[in-house]
């Protein structure tokens, strides 16, 4: 970071910049996702216009909603385990902020250059399960508890295919460092042709599909939204939450969608990079400095494409039944991703 | 595997709807700024043509919600023919419909033998206070201006015999 600005920034300054950058990297995509996809795309898919009054084309609607939630009463049930009840949404949102720490946004624009970034990302993404279980249990409500248990069962079931799908990428790239995975994709070649580099969405297509399905389930977006199935469980683990605690859950839901899409685009779509052959770059050091500015925009664009896929599927499909969901994870996704790992490993050795 | 063509078709439905909304606009209207015309014979509000009312109480008695209140007194009107007795007519003192109770079944309109009640398509009469939903006979009389002309009878329908 200091090499970019040609000024030596003290450690506390760097930390402050990282915190600010993390806030921007989480909240800006979350707001954009809510407006573009939840408000507008969903409405258009149902042949209506969505919010139109607040700001031009309703673009300020989110601020109105946030203001509404902030001024609502913060209700806590009498029997609730108050401290756990208050902690739960923060734990959920925290896992999102921890997750964004390993996403690289440019050759020098990263929060942490973590050797085992993939491992870390998959590990902290499961912290949200804890928060959801805490919310479900501490609400002292049958619906909340059922929703929390369903969420836990679902997230554990889909954590596995997600890890196994990423394994193929790790085998092919030969590293768990997300920055190196980006490098391997953009500097790579498919059968000697390096026109588009080697984005793993092409060579790891099965892994990509499994990963995106698992992400859909991790985010508890329809068709995997049994934990908050409103026709059965009111609102699942969120039932008893109101005011700004609900707002934190709400932000967490869409911020996590954005961050997971960023990780998916880093793993499968080449992350912040463009194919290095376009500009004659060969290694990380030869990448031009302007990629530090263009990189975040490229990540953002790719993220929007992936979130579009997630939301499109969310708005199109009805939800699974609980047993169908478990059967799909254990009997389809896990065998498929195991087979994918085997094939990848064999091909890796063969080529 | 057999479900996959159907799933793709489902995605196409939502995507095509989105593109159609982009191109041709939505099926909904932005309500306070633009309004859809209610369909013919729409049941918006009940209007009272006071001169036709004989306060026979049929509407009040047939109302399932008991939301019509009628009070009247008798008056003597001049005889129709020279040398006749003065006629006794009912004058309305009160004719209220409580729209907080009304369920828009329209039985009162159907049952009125003297064509004193009509459906009007007006629907914008919500009130901040529930008590203001009790429309008295002058308010009900004002709705008469909004009552549309009776629609043409269908071809081959029975004409009313005089």
Q: Which domain holds residue B80?
A: 45-146
Residues of A in contact with B26 (CB under 8 A): 43-44, 47-49
Answer whether residue A328 is part of any domain: yes
Distance from CA of B24 to the nearest CA of A (A): 10
Answer whether residue B155 is part of any domain: no
Q: What is the pLDDT of residue A5?
A: 53
Find the DSSP H helices in A269-351.
Answer: 291-316, 322-327, 334-350
pLDDT over threshold 90, residue A204? no
Answer whether residue B39 is part of any domain: no
ipTM exceeding cut-off 0.85 for this assembly: no
Answer whether residue B118 is part of any domain: yes
Residues of B in contact with A49 (CB under 8 A): 21, 26, 28, 30
Q: What is the pLDDT of residue A1?
A: 44
Query: Which pairs with CB-CB distance under 8 Å and at least 24 residues apart come from A220-223?
Result: A220/A151, A220/A154, A220/A155, A220/A253, A221/A257, A221/A310, A221/A311, A221/A313, A221/A314, A222/A313, A222/A314, A222/A315, A222/A317, A222/A318, A222/A319, A223/A313, A223/A314, A223/A317, A223/A318, A223/A319, A223/A320
Number of folded domains that form chain B: 1
Answer whether residue B16 is part of any domain: no
Q: What is the pLDDT of residue B129?
A: 92
Q: In 3D, which of A223, A121, A116, A127 has the Cα closest to residue A162?
A: A121
Question: Which one has a higher pLDDT value, A284 or A130?
Answer: A130
Q: Residue B63: what are its φ and ψ, rounded to 5°?
A: -70, 120
Minimal Cα distance from B17: which residue of A?
A45
Q: Which residues pair with B90 in a beta bridge?
A: B74
Q: What is the pLDDT of residue B66?
A: 92
CATH of residue B78's domain is 3.30.70.3270
Q: H or E segment at B97?
A: strand B87-98
Q: What is the pLDDT of residue B63?
A: 92
pLDDT over threshold 90, residue A57? no
Neighbours of B49 (CB within 10 A): 17
CA distance A305 to A328: 25
Predicted confidence pLDDT, tens digits, chain B (162 residues): 778 888 889 889 999 988 888 888 888 888 888 888 888 888 989 999 988 888 889 999 999 999 999 999 998 888 888 888 888 888 889 999 999 999 999 999 999 998 899 999 988 888 899 999 999 889 898 898 888 888 777 888 877 666
**Which of A48, A52, A315 minimises the CB distance to B27?**
A48
Q: Is A327 on the interface with B (CB under 8 A)?
A: no
Answer whether residue B33 is part of any domain: no
Residues 6 or more apart in contact with residue A93 via CB below 8 angstroms: A248, A251, A252, A255
Q: Which domain holds residue A115?
A: 2-30+82-350
pLDDT digits (tens, 9 = 90+) for A337-351: 999 988 888 888 887
Number of folded domains that form chain A: 1
């Amino acid at each position: 970071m200091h090499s970019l600005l040609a000024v030596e920034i003290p450690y506390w300054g760097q930390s402050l910049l990282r915190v600010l950058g993390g806030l921007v990297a989480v909240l800006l995509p979350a707001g954009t996702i809510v407006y573009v996809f939840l408000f507008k795309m969903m409405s258009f898919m149902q042949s209506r216009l969505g919010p139109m009054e607040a700001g031009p084309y309703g673009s300020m609607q989110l601020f109105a909603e946030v203001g509404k939630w902030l001024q609502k009463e913060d209700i806590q049930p009498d029997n609730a385990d108050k401290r756990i009840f208050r902690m739960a949404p923060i734990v959920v949102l925290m896992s999102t902020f921890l997750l964004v720490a390993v996403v690289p946004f440019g050759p020098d624009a990263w929060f942490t250059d973590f050797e085992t970034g993939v491992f870390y990302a998959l590990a902290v993404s499961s912290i949200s399960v804890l928060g959801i279980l805490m919310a479900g249990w501490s609400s002292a409500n049958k619906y909340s508890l059922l929703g929390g248990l369903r969420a836990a069962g679902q997230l554990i079931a889909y954590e596995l295919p997600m890890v196994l799908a990423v394994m193929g990428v790790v085998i092919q790239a030969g590293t768990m460092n997300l920055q190196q995975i980006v490098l391997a994709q953009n500097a790579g070649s498919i059968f000697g042709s390096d026109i588009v580099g080697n984005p793993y969405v092409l060579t790891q297509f099965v892994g990509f599909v499994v990963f995106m399905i698992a992400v859909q389930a991790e985010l508890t977006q329809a068709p995997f939204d049994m934990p908050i199935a409103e026709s059965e469980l009111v609102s699942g683990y969120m039932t008893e939450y109101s005011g700004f605690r609900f707002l934190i859950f709400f932000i967490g839901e869409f911020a996590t969608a954005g961050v997971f899409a960023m990780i998916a685009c880093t793993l499968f779509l080449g992350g912040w990079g463009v194919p290095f052959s376009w500009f004659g770059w060969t290694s990380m050091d030869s990448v031009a400095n302007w990629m530090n500015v263009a990189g975040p925009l490229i990540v953002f664009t790719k993220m929007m494409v992936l979130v579009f896929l997630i939301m499109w599927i969310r708005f199109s499909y009805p939800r699974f039944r609980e047993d169908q969901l478990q059967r799909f994870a254990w009997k389809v996704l896990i065998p498929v991703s195991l087979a994918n790992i085997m094939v990848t490993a064999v091909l890796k050795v063969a080529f | 595997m057999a479900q996959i063509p159907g799933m793709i078709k489902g995605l196409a439905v939502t995507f095509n709807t989105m593109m159609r909304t982009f191109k041709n606009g939505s099926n909904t209207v932005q309500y306070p700024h633009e309004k859809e015309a209610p369909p013919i014979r729409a049941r918006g509000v009940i209007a009272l043509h006071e001169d036709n009312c004989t306060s026979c109480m049929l509407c009040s008695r047939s109302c399932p919600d008991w939301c019509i209140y009628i009070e009247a007194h008798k008056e003597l009107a001049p005889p129709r023919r020279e040398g006749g007795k003065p006629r006794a007519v009912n004058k309305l003192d009160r004719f209220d419909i409580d729209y907080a109770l009304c369920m828009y079944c329209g039985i009162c309109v159907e049952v009125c033998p003297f064509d004193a009640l009509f459906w009007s398509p007006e629907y914008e009469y919500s009130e901040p206070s529930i008590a203001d939903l009790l429309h008295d006979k002058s308010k009900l009389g004002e709705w008469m201006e909004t009552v549309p002309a009776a629609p043409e009878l269908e071809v081959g329908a029975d004409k009313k015999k005089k």
